[in-house]
Amino acid sequence: MVETSVLKALEPIKIPSVTDAVFEELHQQILSLELAPGTRMSEVEVAKAFGVSRQPVRDAFYRLSHLGFLLIRPQRATVITKISEAAVLRARFVRTALEIACLRAAVEIATQDDIKDLEELLKEQQAAVSAGERQKFHKLDDDFHRRICEMSGHGYVWTLIREQKAHMDRVRFLSLASGAQAALDDHVDITAALRAGDGELAAASLTTHLSRIRTILGRIRADNPEHFEN
């Protein structure tokens, strides 16, 4: 009898949906303040601008509201939320606790290849800083922190962090006009501590890095009062 092997089914290949594409574009425009806080949003107008039906726009609006970027009010205009100082500080607290736990775990199990991956990201970040590319640097910044979560064996934590940090992200983006190099320098310190296997130094460097937002929050609000809640 000829034996036949049992082939394992392939995992479904995820193809970005129309909703995903609408969500990502709106997310980026809100994050970068191309769509400013307080702006009214219309499903009809967004659908027309993107050349899609209203359903994927409605779904994207729901996802953005879940992240804290949109305020959806039945029978009233949907608006982009203004930045809440309290929400920024709550997000920083939650993010610091989760990322330090991941970083300490990563120190114990990170491989040389993991460290090299981070160092390659640092090179890309330096190029973005030198070119003044804030949006690119912001994405690479997120990639750096997400990669640390993945290195720790707890990649799912990044999803939890992303759900918490919408208000924080817009303040971070505004700060990159003058603070991108400082953020990169912090990343260099965190990576060096990881390479040295020094959990205490890594945690201290990350705490300093994520605490910078407390220092700059007042200045950012004073320079951009129209973007903040009263």
Same domain, 94 and 76: no
| pLDDT tens sequence across 191-205 | 999 999 999 999 999
Find the helix or strand (DSSP H, E) in which 56 lies.
helix 54-67
What per-residue confidence (pLDDT) applies to 202? Answer: 97
Residue 24 has pLDDT above 50, yes or no: yes
Q: In this structure, is residue 24 part of a structural domain?
A: yes
Q: What is the pLDDT of residue 4?
A: 47
Q: Is there a single domain that holds both residue 96 and residue 123?
A: yes
Decide: residue 43, CB within 10 A, 0-12 exposed, 13-18 middle, 19+ buried.
Answer: middle
Q: Is 2 contained in some domain?
A: no
Q: How many domains does the chain have?
A: 2
**Sheet order of strands, 78-80 included:** 40-41, 78-80, 70-71
For residues 190 and 147, state if they share a domain: yes
Residue 108: CB atoms within 10 A of its CB come to 10
Q: Could you tell me if residue 38 is left (phi over 0), alpha (psi between -120 and 50 degrees) or otherwise beta?
A: left
Give the model's confidence band at 13: pLDDT under 50 very low, under 70 low, under 90 confident, else very high.
very low
Q: Where in the sequence is the domain holding 171, given as residue range(s)?
A: 85-227
93-121 tens-digit pLDDT: 999 999 999 999 999 999 999 999 999 99
pLDDT digits (tens, 9 = 90+) for 54-66: 999 999 999 999 8
User: Could you tell me how far CA 28 lies from the centroid of its own chain?
Assistant: 10
The confidence score (pLDDT) of residue 145 equals 97
* Tokens matching residue 180: 């991108």
Short-list 32, 116, 83, CA closest to 213: 83
Q: Is residue 54 part of a domain?
A: yes
Q: Is residue 84 predicted with pLDDT exceeding 50?
A: yes
pTM, full prediction:
0.84
